[in-house]
A and B are shown apart, each in its own frame.
Chain A
Amino acid sequence: MSDMKVVEDLTQSEYKWGFVTNIEAESAPKGLNEDIVRFISMKKEEPEWMLEWRLKAFREWKKLPEPDWAKVKFNKIDYHDVVYYSAPKVKPTLESMDEVDPELRETFEKLGIPLDEQKLLAGVAVDAVFDSVSVTTTFKETLKEKGIIFCSISEAIKEYPDLVKKYIGSVVPPKDNYFSALNSAVFSDGSFVYIPKGVRCPMELSTYFRINAQETGQFERTLIVADDDSYVSYLEGCTAPMRDENQLHAAVVELVTHDNAEIKYSTVQNWYPGDKDGQGGIFNFVTKRGMCEGVNSKISWTQVETGSAVTWKYPSCILKGDNSIGEFYSIAVTNNYQQADTGTKMVHLGKNTRSTIISKGISAGRSDNSYRGLVKIGKNATNARNFSQCDSMLMGDRCGAHTFPYIEVQNQTGQVEHEATTSKVGEDQIFYLNQRGIETEDAVNMIVNGFCKEVFNELPMEFAVEAQKLLAVSLEGSVG
């Protein structure tokens, strides 16, 4: 494990404790009304303006229709049968790894998660050395010295109200869509990052441990602001399989980059997809959007999606500043009865704005995998350019892959390129690898990893290694 990783992990264990202190153990009754929204806000000891903001969002939500355009099918959700606030459960601490479910341990092994991390994930007491306060403090001080703020959004609302007030909902307004309105009304917690002018964040920030140490609930809210000439790389998610009693997840992520700033946002998501027959599993309805506010700014989304029963997710970029750049690199894997409708939106508003979309969809079993993307070039976006490449790979003959590209060009100087391919993992490819001594399961992994190469290249090194293993686990037994 690199020093960096140790430091990263430790920060997260810091967060674990940070959250616990803020919230008392108590839950709201089922259902959603203004009283519930007030209850949540009160529980979180929020200022009046935040409560008003939530209530406004709630009123918008009531007016909005539930979207039905995605190529996914599921039983209608009863929004009044959901608990919108429950105090995070502290997982019972186990004495040793021997007490952990053997199946979970096997998955950890396959993913190659280091033992200390396994312990954290499974709720086993962690070695004192690993949890050392002094190292954590050093890390916190490094960030503080640079003026970087990295804390929970609840903490930010109290500690940095001016920043939160200025940016929250500025990229994804509550009434943007049904799920963003719902999230705005009832969001449970999430992360807040602010990188001041001219600062390059010296380490990758990650939510990894916070989420795993505790269930933060189904309505996460993340806000990242990079001020002029700054840079940050943020990692979200975890390759370890995540189960949650809450079936509905509706997160909102907002990113803002000012002049010459860059945010790199990487996600590895592995929510419980349901069993082999399609029972259970998480519905993941996420709104992620970045605003390239300043000139020469850049936002890059990289995602590896292997989980959820139903995924509805379109990390997008609004390229407002001249010469700004938006990127979207995605791998979406569906197996068994999973359904994914995911893609991106690149909205070019400024001059000389550029965007790149590389999407790799892998479908196996009886799953359905759709890419849906919008490229819009506004009338003032002179010399805007987009390149999109959407590749689908099919395993077996009972799955589906679909591509829905939408292109709107309002400026004659715009250039939009779209390429799409569909391929099948062929018997002849597998035989070729078999003939060199590589067994079928490894052969399939190799072919799939090769197919996803361009996206893996965009992930931070360690994350990429984990993501490759995750793909292998997700597709286990899908061929032969």
Chain B
Amino acid sequence: MIKIKDLHASVEGKEILRGINLEVKEGEVHAIMGPNGSGKSTLANILAGNEAFEITGGSVEYVGKDLLDMTPEDRAREGVFLAFQYPIEIPGITNATFLKTAINEIRKYHGGEEITAKEFMAMIRNKAEILGMSDSMINRYVNVGFSGGEKKRNEIMQLLMLDPKLALLDETDSGLDIDALKVVSEGVNKFRSEKNAVILVTHYQRLLNYIVPDYVHVLSKGRIIKSGGKELALELEEKGYDWIKSEQLEENPA
């Protein structure tokens, strides 16, 4: 589904990604782990088209297209979804209006019909139930006055509503208590299918108890320094990131 080749990126002249190589296929869940400042969130934001970062090299092929050549809105319409680490508040616009607009924009792009009010309401009620959200949130303004946990839940709500091909989850677990974590994970698991893929970025292993990845990659200083199966996450949790860093040093002495 997506092939990232030797991707380099910087912000304000500082290089953050220094040659990322990653391939994700349909039906797969990849976890990207790493210490703070390793470039995890940058990677997710760049794939979604955040222009705050400058791409200085490499390529990204997504469903056979040049992803880096597409506007952020076209990436979204082509099925790239970013669940934000810090979801933005939009005063005066209800979740319902926002989601309906998004769904219709995506449908329009693919030459489809607008969603009917009835269809939309049935869909949103169903998704809200999965995530244990009350009906009243449908008419609340997007993220305004939401707690940290509610905002994250709302991101997953959007994920389920928009049903993208590629979900990028940027530290979706941060700020969640264990109950919320379970609910959000359940939402993501409901989303998983043979037709889509998930790249989830996280600092901690605990999310991976609930969303079990097929692959785990460790990112450090803008490079993937180790890849493995789901057991790699457990090893990391046990030994800490310094373990890999020192292992790397032994393999590639400076």
Contact B76 A431 (CB under 8 A): no
> In the complex, what distance in Å separates the CA atom of A453 from the CA atom of B75?
30
B87 at the interface (CB under 8 A from A): yes
Cβ contact of A434, chosen from B76, B92, B106, B141, cutoff 8 A: B76
Most chain A CB within 10 A, of B87, B102, B141, is at: B102
The reply to whether the CB of B246 lies closer than 8 angstroms to some CB of chain A is no
Decide yes or no whether A233 CB sits under 8 A from chain B. no
Q: Check: B66 CB closer than 8 A to any chain A CB.
A: no
Q: Which of the four size classes fits the interface of chain B?
A: 20 to 34
Contact assessment for B51 and A431 in the assembled complex, using a CB-CB cutoff below 8 Å:
yes
Contact A452 B92 (CB under 8 A): yes
A429 to B93 alpha-carbon distance, docked (Å): 12
* CB <8 Å contact, B92 and A449: yes
- Is B49 positioned at the interface, with any CB of A under 8 Å from its CB? yes
B81 to chain A: which residues have CB within 8 Å? 435
CB of B98 within 8 Å of the partner chain: yes
Interface string of A415-446 (1 = CB under 8 A from B): 00000000000111101111111111010001
Give every chain B residue within 8 A of A442 (Cβ-Cβ).
101, 105
> Which of chain A's residues has its CB closest to B102's CB?
A436
**B76 (CB) vs chain A CBs: closest residue:** A437
Query: CA of A447 to CA of B142 in the docked complex: distance in angstroms?
Result: 11
Task: For residue A306, give the distance in angstroms from its CB to the closest CB of chain B.
Answer: 18
B207 within 8 A of A: no
A102 touches B (CB below 8 Å): no
Q: Is the CB of B72 within 8 A of A446?
A: no
User: Would A434 and B72 count as touching, CB distance under 8 A?
Assistant: yes
Collect the chain B residues with CB atoms within 8 Å of residue A427's CB: 51-52
The complex places the Cα of A433 from the Cα of B72 at a distance, in Å, of: 9
Partner of A450, one of B76, B109, B141: B141
Q: Give bound CA distance, A440 to B81, whole Å.
A: 17
Which residue on chain B has the smallest CB distance to residue A447?
B90
- Of residues 106 through 149 on chain B, the ones whose CB sits less than 8 Å from some CB of chain A are 106, 109, 141
B contact residues around A431 at 8 Å (CB): 49-52, 72
B88 touches A432 (CB 8 A): yes
Chain B's closest residue to A434 (CB) is: B72
Q: Is the CB of A436 within 8 A of B92?
A: no
- CB contacts under 8 Å to B, within A157-200, are none
Closest B residue to A429 by CB, please name it. B88
A472 to chain B, nearest CB (A): 13
CB distance from B89 to the nearest CB of A (A): 8
Which residues of chain A are near B162, meaning CB under 8 Å?
A: 436-437
Q: Find out whether the CB atom of A451 lies under 8 angstroms from the CB atom of B92.
A: yes
Q: Which of A432, A447, A451, A453 contacts B84 (CB 8 A)?
A: A432
Q: Is B91 an interface residue (CB 8 A)?
A: yes
The docked-state distance in angstroms from the alpha carbon of A429 to that of B143 is 12
Bound Cα distance from A356 to B26, whole angstroms: 56
Does any Cβ of A come within 8 Å of B82's Cβ? yes
B48 contacts the other chain (Cβ, under 8 Å)? yes
In the complex formed, the residue of B with least CB distance to A431 is B50
- Smallest CB–CB gap between A435 and chain B, Å? 5
Q: How far is the CA of A453 from the CA of B98 in the complex (A)?
A: 14
Would you list which residues of chain B between 30 and 86 have a CB under 8 Å from chain A?
A: 48-52, 71-73, 75-77, 81-82, 84
In contact, B90 and A435 (Cβ under 8 angstroms): no
Are A438 and B105 touching (Cβ within 8 A)?
yes
> Which residue on chain A has the smallest CB distance to residue B141?
A450
- Determine the chain A residues whose CB is within 8 A of the CB of B72 once the complex forms: 431, 434-435
Residues of A within 8 A of B102 (CB): 436-438
CB contacts (< 8 Å) of A434 on chain B: these are 49, 71-73, 76
Q: Once the chains bind, are A435 and B93 in contact (CB under 8 Å)?
A: no
Closest to B93 in A: A450
Q: Output the nearest chain A residue to B48 by Cβ-Cβ distance.
A: A435
A436 x B49 contact (CB < 8 A): no
Distance of A431 Cα from B73 Cα, bound (Å): 9
- For B50, the chain A residues whose CB sits under 8 A away are 431
Q: How far is the CA of A162 from the CA of B12 in the complex (A)?
A: 73
Closest B residue to A423 by CB, please name it. Answer: B91
* Chain B residues with CB below 8 A from A454, complex form: 92
Contact indicator A446/B73 (Cβ below 8 Å): no
B92 is contacted by which of A426, A429, A435, A453 (Cβ under 8 Å)? A453
Residues on the B chain within 8 Å of A437, using CB: 73, 76-77, 102, 105-106, 109, 162
Q: Once bound together, how far apart are the Cα atoms of A435 and B76, in whole Å?
A: 5
Minimum distance in angstroms from A423 CB to a CB of chain B: 9
Interface centre among A429, A436, A440, A451 (most CB of B within 10 A): A436
CB distance from B193 to the nearest CB of A (A): 20
Instruction: For A428, list chain B residues within 8 Å (CB).
Output: 88
The answer to whether the Cβ of B185 comes within 8 Å of any Cβ in the partner chain is no
**Interchain CB contact under 8 A, A432 and B71:** no
A261, B199: Cα distance in complex, Å: 63
CB distance from B77 to the nearest CB of A (A): 5
Contacts of A433 in B (CB 8 A): 90
Chain A residues with CB under 8 Å of B98's CB are: 436, 446
CB within 8 Å for A436 and B76 given contacts A427-B52, A442-B101: yes
Point out the residues of chain B lying under 8 angstroms from A447, CB to CB: 90, 93
Q: Is B172 an interface residue (CB 8 A)?
A: no
Query: When chains A and B are docked, how far (Å) is the Cα of A440 from the Cα of B50?
Result: 13
Q: Whose C-beta in chain A lies nearest to the C-beta of B80?
A: A435
Within the assembled complex, what's the spacing in Å between the Cα atoms of A249 and B141?
A: 40
6 contacts between A and B (CB under 8 A): A431-B50, A432-B84, A434-B49, A437-B106, A438-B73, A454-B92
Q: Which 5 A-B pairs have the closest CB atoms?
A: A450-B92, A453-B92, A434-B72, A436-B102, A450-B93
Residues of B within 8 A of A (CB): 48-52, 71-73, 75-77, 81-82, 84, 87-88, 90-93, 98, 101-102, 105-106, 109, 141, 158, 162
- 19 further A-B pairs in the complex, CB-CB below 8 A; given A435-B82, A435-B84, A450-B90: A431-B72, A432-B84, A432-B90, A434-B71, A435-B48, A435-B72, A435-B81, A436-B102, A436-B105, A439-B71, A440-B73, A442-B101, A446-B98, A446-B101, A450-B91, A450-B92, A453-B91, A453-B92, A454-B92
